[in-house]
């Protein structure tokens, strides 16, 4: 899929105020500082579409971007360790779960995980919650350029070992690097295939 246009549509903290149309949505979420904004900018080919920051927790709203005039990419706040007040964190943790539970346009969530680290309880718990709520998702391993190929394999195997204790199959996953454009074609191709199947159904 070639991304010919990517435009910001709206930011808000209420699911009821998200765009009121039937365009399919793909939501990107992960722990703070996982490289989400960089990944979104890499996928869309727009360096400043999503705001990147050295400070974790920059995204604190539901951000909708219209891609190629026919689907929405949704940038969600990071869960976990953002340096924001407890009241702010409670607010956006609540609307994150509301978004996933109530947004009928949502086709797939992409849970971003830094491939350099061992499986983190908060990531595993969030995936578990998505599974229990029957919300389709894929794992996106980020920052793969920081590791050698063998180390990448080992980290993915660690995830498989843990996830297969709870899941019948390993969830669909992608290995990406924003600086090397790694995984871009695979991820966009996956979205494109889903969009095509939705149009033909």
Q: Which helix (H) or strand (E) segment is 190 a member of?
A: helix 184-200
Overall average pLDDT of the 52-72 stretch? 76
pTM: 0.91
Summarised one tens digit per residue, pLDDT across range 131-181 is 989 999 999 999 999 999 999 999 999 999 999 998 999 999 999 999 999
Q: Phi/psi of residue 182, each to 5°?
A: -75, 135
Res. 41: pLDDT tops 50: yes
Higher pLDDT, residue 49 or 44: 44
Q: Phi/psi of residue 18, each to 5°?
A: -65, 160
Q: What residue spans define the domains of the chain?
A: 6-200
Q: Which residue blocks in 57-148 are alpha helix, DSSP H?
A: 86-102, 121-132
Confidence band of 56 (pLDDT split at 50, 70, 90) = very low
Cα angle 136, 8, 174 (rounded to 5 degrees) comes to 35
Architecture of domain 6-200: 3-Layer(aba) Sandwich (3.40)
Beta bridge partners of 26: 73, 108
Q: What is the signed CA dihedral for 108, 79, 86, 120, rounded to 10 degrees? A: 140
């Amino acid at each position: 899929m070639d991304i010919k246009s990517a435009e910001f549509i709206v930011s808000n903290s209420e699911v009821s105020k998200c765009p009121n149309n039937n365009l399919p949505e793909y939501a990107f979420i992960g722990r703070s500082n996982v490289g989400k904004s960089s990944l979104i900018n890499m996928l869309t080919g727009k360096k400043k579409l999503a705001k990147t920051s050295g400070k974790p927790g920059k995204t604190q709203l539901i951000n909708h971007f219209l891609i190629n005039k026919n689907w929405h990419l949704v940038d969600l706040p990071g869960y976990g360790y953002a340096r924001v007040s407890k009241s702010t964190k409670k607010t956006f943790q609540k609307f994150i779960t509301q978004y996933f539970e109530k947004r009928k346009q949502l086709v797939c969530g992409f849970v971003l995980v830094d491939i350099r680290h061992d499986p983190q309880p908060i990531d595993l718990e969030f995936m578990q919650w998505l599974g229990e709520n029957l919300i389709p998702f894929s794992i996106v391993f980020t920052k793969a350029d920081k590791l050698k190929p063998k180390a990448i394999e080992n980290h993915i195997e660690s995830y498989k070992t843990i996830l297969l204790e709870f899941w019948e199959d390993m969830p669909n996953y992608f290995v990406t690097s924003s600086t090397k454009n790694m995984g871009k074609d695979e991820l966009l191709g996956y979205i494109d295939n889903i969009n095509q199947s939705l149009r033909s159904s």
